[in-house]
Amino acid sequence: MKKTGKILVVDDNAGIRSALKILLPMHFAEVELIPSPNVLNARLIDFRPDVVLLDMNFHTDANTGNEGLYWLSEIKSVAPKVQVVLFTAYADVALAVEGMKRGAFDFVVKPWENEKLIEILCAAVEAGGKDSKAARKVSETAMIWGSSPAMKTVRSTVERIAMTDASMLITGENGTGKDVIANEIHRLSPRRDGPMVSIDAGAVPETLFESELFGHVKGAFTDAHADKVGKFEAANGGTLFLDEIGNIPLNLQAKLLRVLQNRTVTRVGDTKAIPVDIRLVCATNMNLEKMVADGEFREDLFYRINTVEVKLPPLRERTDELRPLSEMFIEKFARKYHRSVSGISEDALALMKSCTWPGNIRELQNCLERAVIMSDRETIGADDLHINPAEIMSGRPEKKVDDGNVETLEAAEEKAIRAAMIRYNGNLSMVAKALEVSRPTLYSKLKKYGI
């Protein structure tokens, strides 16, 4: 039987690499093993694996899995069609679910069973082939347009402007689907056959900002063991989506502006200017005009990224989308977690329509993912949703300025942060994700409330 599939193993344990070097070539066409994720981006481009078997910890005594989750996001950003199987010695179900939520195909616990490992990797190779063939079809059906006047305006603007190369700014609350709109803009544009590269600008540490966006050359700084292609180069000929752009510090805004003006990048540690041809789409939940007035955001950069602005309304103003969105998410997660769930009840929809959904579509997705995982019925009912009563509109107290018994927004925010810190045992990455804020924003809030 002809062997197929290219497997890239990333694990710092020499003994494990030695064992897999013997096992995997008996089942797959090509296998490459590397000890560190620092060269991962380069290998994704040069080796072009079908599946990455990714260790979740790369430092002595590290057992949180945060490194694995970070590199999982990197892989999905650079090579979204590559399947990722997470490899860990710590059997943590919550971490496994979190990894799969972020796009991992499956999760393998060390010490592993050879037959089970091969079975999972073969399934991942097969899934990668199906995803590659179906990628265009999936992207063409992923957008759900509501019938509200606000969403009709959004759709009209997107369809009219997508065919141009105009820079676009997407604004709206966290979780409203700004990334989905960005992908729709790319799909409708003449650049649709080029790459769509996304990066959460607010989550990139200031010290790594230039390297992440513009790339670096080998030896440019400590741990720069190989050349790295930045996001601008990776998006050449396609679309670059900069999410949370309002979180970029002022000094780095100037560097971003220079690249947008010159349409060239210079990798860190190099002097050669590399031309880039990209269409820029940015997103933020911040009021950039106020930030410009307050001196927190460059006015020239604001106008550079804001040729056309699209304002996304919150989900509580788009309740007509709840049914199609719910059906889409239920189908997606039923397939992902091998559940027989196939629909949602009318009482569940009625409950959904009564909610504020402060986390918007992202909260709805998480709610339904949990419901699909936990439910043992064919139809999701209201009791499967486990919706917080405080999020039901009819139960919300009206805020009165002179009512000393009404909790202030700051007090509610502090309470939510403290609760999340306890729930996730101080894991800042998971706390930030749960609260739907960037890590820099979370740091500032922790400092503000003395947590």
Which distant-in-sequence residues (6+ apart) come within 8 Å of 136 by Cβ? none
Per-residue pLDDT at 399:
38
According to DSSP, the β-strands at 239-243 and 196-200 are parallel
Which spans in 296-438 are helix H? 299-305, 322-336, 346-353, 360-374, 382-385, 409-423, 428-435
Instruction: In whole angstroms, give the CA distance from residue 363 to residue 366.
Output: 5
Lowest pLDDT segment from 85-94, 131-140, 297-306: 131-140
Longest dimension (CA), the chain: 77
Q: Is 409-449 a domain of CATH 1.10.10? A: yes
Q: Which two tokens stand for residue 197?
A: 């590269």
pLDDT in tens, 402-426: 444 445 667 777 778 877 777 666 7
Nearest-CA neighbor of 287 among 300, 297, 274? 297
Same topology, domains 6-133 and 152-313? Answer is yes
pLDDT in tens, 186-204: 999 999 989 999 999 878 8
Q: Which fold has domain 6-133?
A: Rossmann fold (3.40.50)
pLDDT in tens, 8-53: 999 988 999 999 999 999 999 999 999 988 888 778 877 889 999 9
Nearest-CA neighbor of 235 among 201, 279, 197? 197
Q: Which two tokens stand for residue 335?
A: 């397939």
Q: Which fold has domain 152-313?
A: Rossmann fold (3.40.50)
From the CB of residue 280, how many other CB atoms can be counted at a distance below 10 Å?
A: 22
Segment 73-99 shows an average pLDDT of 77
Number of helical H runs and strand E runs in the chain: 19, 14
**In the chain, where the domains are located:** 6-133, 152-313, 316-392, 409-449
Instruction: In whole angstroms, give the CA distance from residue 371 to residue 375.
Output: 6
Q: Which fold has domain 316-392?
A: Helicase, Ruva Protein; domain 3 (1.10.8)
What angle is formed at CA 158 by the lines to CA 156 and CA 161, rounded to 5 degrees?
A: 105
Residues above pLDDT 90, as percent of the chain: 47
Instruction: Judge whether 207 and 250 are in contact, CB under 8 Å.
Output: no
Per-residue pLDDT at 389:
65
Strands lying side by side in the sheet with 30-34? 30-34, 6-10, 51-55, 83-88, 106-109
E strands of 202-278, at which residues? 239-243, 264-266, 273-275
User: pLDDT-based confidence at 140, cuts 50/70/90?
Assistant: very low
pLDDT in tens, 223-279: 788 888 899 999 999 999 999 999 998 989 999 999 999 999 999 999 999 999 999
Per-residue pLDDT at 425:
65
Per-residue pLDDT at 189:
93
Nearest-CA neighbor of 171 among 246, 240, 107, 228? 246
Instruction: In whole angstroms, give the CA distance from residue 368 to residue 355.
Output: 14
pLDDT in tens, 334-358: 888 888 888 899 999 999 999 999 9
Q: Which two tokens stand for residue 8?
A: 């890239």
Per-residue pLDDT at 139:
38
Q: Which two tokens stand for residue 29?
A: 């066409």
CA–CA distances in Å: residue 72 to residues 20, 78, 87:
20, 10, 11
Residue 275, exposed/middle/buried by CB under 10 A (0-12, 13-18, 19+)?
A: exposed
Question: Does the pLDDT value for residue 91 go beyond 70?
Answer: no
Q: At what angle do helices 114-141 and 14-23 cross, to 10 degrees?
A: 80
Per-residue pLDDT at 73:
86
Per-residue pLDDT at 404:
45
